[in-house]
Amino acid sequence: MATLRSMELEINGRQHALTLEPRVTLLDALREHLGLTGTKKGCDQGQCGACTVHVDGERVLACLTLAVQAEGRKVTTIEGLAQADGALHPVQAAFVEEDAFQCGYCTPGQIMSAVACIREGHAGSDEEIREYMAGNLCRCGAYPNIVSAVRKAAKEVA
Amino acid sequence: MNDFGYSRAASIDEAVALARQPGAMLLAGGTTLVDLSKCDVARPNALVDISRIPGLDEVRLDEDNAAIGALATMSHVAVQAGIRENFPAISESLLLAASAQLRNMATIGGNLMQRTRCVYFRDPAGYSACNKRDPGSGCAALGGIAHDHAVLGASDACIAVYPGDLAVALTALEAVVRTNLREIQIRDFFVEPGDTPQRETVLEPGEMITEIIVPRSPLSANSTYLKVRERKSYEFASASAAVGLAFEADGRTIRDIHVALGGLATKPWRALAVEEALRGKIIDEQAIRDVSRLAVEGAVAQGANAYKIELAPRVVARAILKVGGIQ
Ligand SMILES: Cc1cc2nc3c(=O)[nH]c(=O)nc-3n(C[C@H](O)[C@H](O)[C@H](O)COP(=O)(O)OP(=O)(O)OC[C@H]3O[C@@H](n4cnc5c(N)ncnc54)[C@H](O)[C@@H]3O)c2cc1C
Ligand code: SF4
Ligand code: FES
Ligand code: FES
């Protein structure tokens, strides 16, 4: 028997009332229940970073977070990054300018991770960027351009 | 995944009371437990979320000890100035583990309790034999591909490696695990598999880690964690070593040294023979390289993991040379 639980989640500044089984992950709540499919499911085991979102401003993996664990926290997804008028976040713009993707599947996770990486002050050198972006795998191997994009965005944000 | 209930504990007392229900498990960062629930390895029927219990997420430092709250995250603890300066091995072991995202989620208490990455353990659909998962069912790794498995502390029932990094640093620094009931020396906290590989620590059901106490000393301040792995980053250890070293006033005679190994054994492994051979000696590179072989005394390979026996002494030697100021 499914145990259901009502919860309020704050996603990208908006409140959402949901009734979910406690075992539903934040990733599935976003994609399957709220139609926010920008956050991707790669491995579903915490190994690839495709599902990276921010909870209270810190980057975390939505596939290993239960939706109920995010109650009372502020969740930001890739859909919440651009400004209301559609102007891209500097990291998004840098990914476009540097051609930092091929298939694009890992990209939302890369961008969410990069925004946090820069904010944490871990984008000081290419080596530091590689180390602190290591939790985001790219099967297309777009890594050189991803590093360029993070380096560029870090300079602009600074 | 098992269907489970969820409750959020407001205090330690409430958490341990809820955790005593049959089938209940504590949930902290969830990076082990949610993962293993998805693989159907963990089958909780109730999760008790302890992550919002107040007062357990801090790091305090006094003259004698650091007290690290069980709910402090890996990323938070790693960058505390008091930890970096007085316990570099702890900070390094945390920063070399997992990824930035996982370190933001994972807690110190949960980190100690992480489960093995044995591929057979993690795949019940593919492999029914696993004594750790289902006592008495056998061990698929024995006779399987044991590339990541233990060369020390294994038994006929289980050869799975304890995968964590932090616990290795804490073993070298002789930390104490404080629970709601008692204080446990880290060397007594983890247990070898023997006939009961399902039991990995001495914690009783419903017992909760509240704090880790780490004694301050010249040895803890001159410590390091060296991790060798198959990728440059974001990978578990093939072999790792935590070493703390204190010199006599002459700056060359080893007053005391502690050495612990990771990625090699069924639990964080203290290399006492290496320590004894070096205590009181004048630091010397060749002697360190020779003595480091004692780290794998009694090691047994299971085919694909034989490389660990060759690798480990080199990792130990490099870590000792580093804290010895030679390299
Ligand atoms: C892809 C990946 C890579 C990783 N790489 C590394 C690595 O390189 N090095 C490394 O060391 N680790 C690594 N990890 C493991 C990670 O560090 C652990 O999953 C994490 O530290 C567990 O902490 P948590 O708070 O998320 O625990 P949870 O998943 O919440 O809990 C884990 C277990 O501990 C129990 N528990 C939690 N808190 C307490 C408490 N206070 N008292 C008693 N029991 C408790 C829970 O009941 C559960 O059984 C990796 C994990 C993943 C998914
Ligand atoms: S080594 Fe241990 S965990 Fe792995 S299959 Fe054998 S019994 Fe299970
Ligand atoms: S989908 Fe979450 S880490 Fe891969
Ligand atoms: S762009 Fe294809 S996986 Fe990264």
pLDDT higher than 90, residue A132: yes
Nearest to B164 by CA among B312, B46, B44, B268: B268
The secondary structure of B246-306 as a DSSP string is: EE-TTSSBEEEEEEEEESSBSS-EE-HHHHHHHTTSBP-HHHHHHHGGGGGTT----STTT
pLDDT digits (tens, 9 = 90+) for A79-95: 999 999 999 999 999 99
For the cut 70, the answer to whether the pLDDT of residue A2 exceeds it is no
pLDDT band of A157, cuts 50, 70, 90: confident
Percent with pLDDT over 90 in chain B: 98
Helix (H) or strand (E) holding B125: none
Q: Write the burial class of residue B201 (CB in 10 Å: 0-12 exposed, 13-18 middle, 19+ buried).
A: middle
Rounded Cα distance between B90 and B325, Å, is 19
Is the dihedral angle over the CA atoms B46, B57, A128, A82 positive or is it negative?
positive
Angle between helices A143-157 and A90-97 (to 10 degrees): 140
The CB of B288 under 6 Å from ligand 1? The reply is: no
- Please tell me whether residue A40 adopts helix, strand or coil conformation: coil
- At residue A4, does pLDDT exceed 80? yes
- For residue A158, name the pLDDT band (cuts at 50, 70, 90): confident
| Chain A positions in Cβ-Cβ contact with residue B30 (cut-off 8 Å) | 64-66, 69
- Name residues whose C-beta falls within 8 Å of residue B28's C-beta, 6 or more positions apart in sequence: B50, B51, B70, B71, B106, B107, B109, B110
| pLDDT at B226 (0 to 100) | 98
Q: What angle do CA B289, B191, B235 make, to 5 degrees?
A: 60
Element (H, E) at B113: none
Residue B302: pLDDT band by 50, 70, 90 thresholds?
very high
Angle among Cα B106, A69, B208 to the nearest 5 degrees reads: 55
Q: Please, which pLDDT band fits residue B127 given cuts at 50, 70 and 90?
A: very high
**Alpha-carbon span A50 to A136, nearest angstrom:** 7
pLDDT digits (tens, 9 = 90+) for A98-117: 999 999 999 999 999 999 99
Terminal-to-terminal C-alpha distance of chain A: 52
Distances (CA, A) of B100 to A46, A112, A151: 12, 12, 18
Q: Give the one of A45, A69, A117 whose C-beta lies nearest to B100's C-beta.
A: A117
Q: Residue A28 pLDDT more than 90?
A: yes
Which of A28, A48, A110, A137 to mutate for ligand 3's pocket (most ligand atoms within 8 Å of CB)? A48
Q: Select from B49, B102, B166, B177 the residue to mutate for testing ligand 1; criterion: most ligand atoms less than 8 Å from CB.
A: B102
Please provide residue B146's backbone torsions phi and psi, each rounded to the nearest 5 degrees. -105, 35
A119 — contact with chain B (CB < 8 Å)?
Answer: no
pLDDT > 60? residue A1: no
> pLDDT (tens digit, 9 = 90+) per residue, B29-45?
999 999 999 999 999 99
Cross-strand bridge partners of residue A59: A54
Side chain identity at residue A56, one-letter code: D
Q: pLDDT at residue B327 above 80?
A: no
pLDDT value at position A20?
97
Q: Give the neighbor-by-neighbor strand order of the sheet with B223-228.
A: B223-228, B239-247, B254-262, B269-270
Average pLDDT of chain A, as a whole number: 97
E strands in chain B: 5-8, 24-27, 46-49, 59-61, 65-69, 176-179, 183-185, 209-215, 223-228, 239-247, 254-262, 269-270
Answer yes or no: is pLDDT of B98 > 60.
yes
3-state secondary structure labels for all residues of A110-122: HHHHHHHHHHCCC
Please tell me the distance from the alpha carbon of residue A60 to that of residue B98, in angstroms, as a whole number.
12
Q: Please give the distance, rounded to the nearest whole angstrom, from the Cα atom of residue A143 to the centre of ligand 4.
A: 9
Touching check for A3 and chain B: CB below 8 Å? yes
Q: In what order do the strands lie in the sheet with A14-20?
A: A14-20, A5-11, A74-76, A52-55, A58-61
In the reported structure, the alpha carbon of residue B158 is separated from the centroid of ligand 2 by a whole-number distance in angstroms of: 5
- Whole-number average pLDDT of chain B: 97
Domains of chain A with bracketed CATH: 5-80 (3.10.20.30), 90-157 (1.10.150.120)
CA distances from B257 to A70, B62, B245, B267, B281 (A): 44, 23, 4, 20, 11
Inter-chain CB proximity B98 and A135 less than 8 Å = yes
Q: Nearest residue on chain B to A58, judged by CA atoms?
A: B104
Residue A125 has pLDDT above 80, yes or no: yes
Take residue B304 and report the two structure tokens written for it.
């694909």
| Rounded distance between C-alpha atoms, residue B122 and residue B161, angstroms | 13
Residue A67 has pLDDT above 70, yes or no: yes
Query: Judged by CB atoms within 8 Å, which residues 42-81 of A form the interface with B?
Result: 44-46, 49, 52, 58-61, 64-66, 68-69
Task: Tell me: pLDDT of B319 over 60.
Answer: yes
Probe target for ligand 2 pocket from B39, B116, B122, B131, with the most ligand atoms within 8 Å of CB: B131
Angle, nearest 10°, between helix axes A107-119 and A90-97?
120
* Residue nearest atom 3 in ligand 1 by C-alpha distance: B98
- Which candidate, B174, B185, B167, B188, places its Cα nearest to that of B268? B167
Span of A3-7, B83-87, B190-194, B217-221 with lowest mean pLDDT: A3-7
CB of B126 closer than 8 Å to CB of B172: no
State the nearest Cα–Cα gap between B172 and chain A, in angstroms: 26
Q: Whose CA is nearest to atom 35 of ligand 1?
A: B110
What confidence tier does A71 reach under pLDDT thresholds 50, 70, 90? very high
The one-letter amino acid at B76: H
* Residue B52 confidence class, pLDDT cut points 50, 70, 90: very high
Closest to B175 measured CA to CA, from B74, B54, B270? B270
Question: CA nearest B93: which of B186, B190, B150, B173?
Answer: B173
Interface residue A134 vs chain B (CB under 8 A) = yes
B199 touches B53 (CB < 8 A):
no
